Chain A
Amino acid sequence: MAMAALRREGRRFAPLISPRPITAVRSSPIAPSHEDEGPIGVRYISTQVVRNRMKSVKNIQKITKAMKMVAASKLRAVQTKAENSRGLWQPFTALLGDLPSVDVKKSVVVTISSDKGLCGGINSTSVKISKGIHKLNSGPEKETKYVILGEKAKAQLIRDSKKDIELIITELQKNPLNYTQVSVLADEILKNVEFDALRIVFNKFHSVVSFVPTVSTVLSPEIVEREAESGGKLGDLDNYEVEGGETKGEILQNLAEFQFSCVMFNAVLENACSEQGARMSAMDSSSRNAGDMLDRLTLTYNRTRQASITTELIEIISGASALEG
Chain B
Amino acid sequence: MLRQASRLLARRPRLAARTRPFSTDLPAADQTADATFTEAWSKVIPNLDPPKTPLSFMQPRPPTPSSIPSKLTVNFVLPYASALATKEVDMVIVPATTGQMGVLPGHVATIAELKPGVLSVHEGNEVTKYFVSSGFVFIHANSFADVIAVEAVPLDQLDANLVQKGLAEFTSKLSSATTDLEKAEAQIGIDVHSALNSALTG
Contact = CB atoms under 8 A, between A and B. Distances in A.
Interface of A: 75-76, 79, 81, 83-95, 97-101, 128-129, 132, 135-136, 179, 183, 201, 204-209, 212-217, 236, 239-245, 251, 254-255, 258, 262, 265, 277
Contact of A201 (B51, B108, B148): B51
A79 B101 CA distance: 36
Most buried by B among A91, A207, A208: A91
Contact of B108 (A76, A212, A241): A241
Contacts of B77: 87-88, 90-91
Given A95-B140, A214-B57, A243-B111, 9 more contacts: A84-B80, A85-B79, A90-B58, A93-B55, A95-B146, A99-B34, A100-B34, A101-B37, A136-B40
Given A136-B45, A251-B113, A262-B148, A243 B96 contact: yes
Interface of B: 20-24, 26, 34, 36-37, 40-41, 44-45, 48, 51-55, 57-58, 61, 75, 77-82, 85, 96-98, 101, 108-113, 135-136, 138, 140-141, 144, 146, 148, 150
B194 to A, nearest CB: 18
A94 B22 contact: no
Nearest to B76: A87
A91 B96 contact: no
Contacts, number: 149
Contacts of B80: 81, 84-85, 179
Contacts of B51: 129, 201, 212-215
A233 to B, nearest CB: 9
Given A85-B79, A87-B82, A98 B55 contact: yes
Of the listed residues A76, A205, A213, A240, the one surrounded by the most CB atoms of chain B closer than 10 A to its CB is A240
Contacts of B40: 101, 136
A265 B79 contact: yes
Contact of A91 (B41, B98, B146): B146
A241 B111 contact: yes
A100 B37 CA distance: 6
A93 B77 CA distance: 14
B199 to A, nearest CB: 21
A240 B111 contact: yes
A313 to B, nearest CB: 35
Contacts of A81: 80
25 contacts: A79-B22, A83-B24, A84-B81, A85-B79, A87-B75, A90-B77, A91-B148, A94-B144, A95-B146, A98-B53, A99-B34, A100-B37, A129-B48, A135-B44, A207-B20, A207-B22, A208-B21, A209-B20, A216-B53, A239-B109, A241-B109, A241-B111, A242-B111, A243-B110, A258-B148
A261 to B, nearest CB: 9
Contacts of B45: 132, 135-136
A180 to B, nearest CB: 9
Contacts of B113: 243-244, 251, 254-255
Contact of A136 (B41, B61, B140): B41
B55 A206 contact: no
A262 B150 CA distance: 9
A215 B148 contact: no
Contacts of A101: 34, 36-37, 40
Nearest to A255: B136
A107 to B, nearest CB: 13
A304 B55 CA distance: 62
A129 B37 CA distance: 13
B52 A132 contact: no
Contact of A207 (B24, B55, B144): B24
A88 B37 contact: no
